[in-house]
């Protein structure tokens, strides 16, 4: 009976941690996400030797992480343009022409680099995030069309 209570308590705590991840911005607090995932995986690894039949339970928690990650990834894609670091430039009147400094190409490169960082989160944890790729294809396409319309 005591063992069951301990397992229920661990399960409840893990549920609270996943709920916290649902509210933690993946774009602004990526390191907190990675740290929390490591903690969750460490908890599961700690219990694994004592309870060998945990495959289903482990799959359950992987699925809960997928849900939290999918939620934050979708929110991140929808608000990406507002959460990216501000890119500054100067407008100069030089040789009787208005020019941007740095040039527009450099500004685009910096903007795309920031977007790539966010999208690259999936690449860092490929085995965990394959599920999300299938569900966020639409969001990536919308982002691409938004950027295409913005810069053409």
> Taking the chain (152 residues) in consecutive chunks of 10 residues, what is each chunk's mean pLDDT?
90 95 87 89 88 82 83 84 83 89 91 82 55 51 62 62
- The pLDDT assigned to 23 comes to 93
- The pLDDT assigned to 124 comes to 57
Domain limits at 77? 2-151
- The pLDDT assigned to 144 comes to 62
| Distance separating alpha carbons of residues 77 and 23, to the nearest angstrom | 15
With a CB cutoff of 8 Å and minimum separation 6, the contacts of 33 are 21, 24, 26, 69, 72
Split into its structural domains, the chain has a count of 1
Three-class HEC string of 60-72: HHHHHHHHHHHHH
pTM over 0.75: no
- CA dihedral angle for residue 5, residue 63, residue 30, residue 107, rounded to 10 degrees: -170
């Amino acid at each position: 009976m005591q063992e069951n209570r301990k397992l229920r308590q661990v399960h409840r705590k893990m549920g609270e941690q996943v709920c916290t991840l649902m509210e933690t911005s993946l774009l602004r607090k990526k390191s907190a996400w990675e740290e929390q995932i490591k903690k969750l995986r460490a908890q599961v690894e700690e219990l694994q030797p004592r309870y060998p039949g945990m495959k289903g339970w482990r799959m359950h928690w992987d699925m809960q992480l997928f849900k939290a990650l999918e939620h934050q990834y979708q929110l991140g894609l929808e608000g990406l343009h507002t959460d990216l670091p501000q890119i500054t430039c100067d407008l100069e009147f030089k040789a009787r022409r208005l020019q941007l400094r740095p040039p527009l190409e450099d500004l685009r490169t910096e903007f795309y680099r920031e977007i790539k960082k966010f999208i690259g989160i999936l690449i860092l944890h490929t085995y965990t995030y394959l599920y999300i790729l299938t569900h966020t294809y639409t969001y990536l396409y919308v982002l691409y069309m938004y950027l295409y319309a913005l810069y053409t």
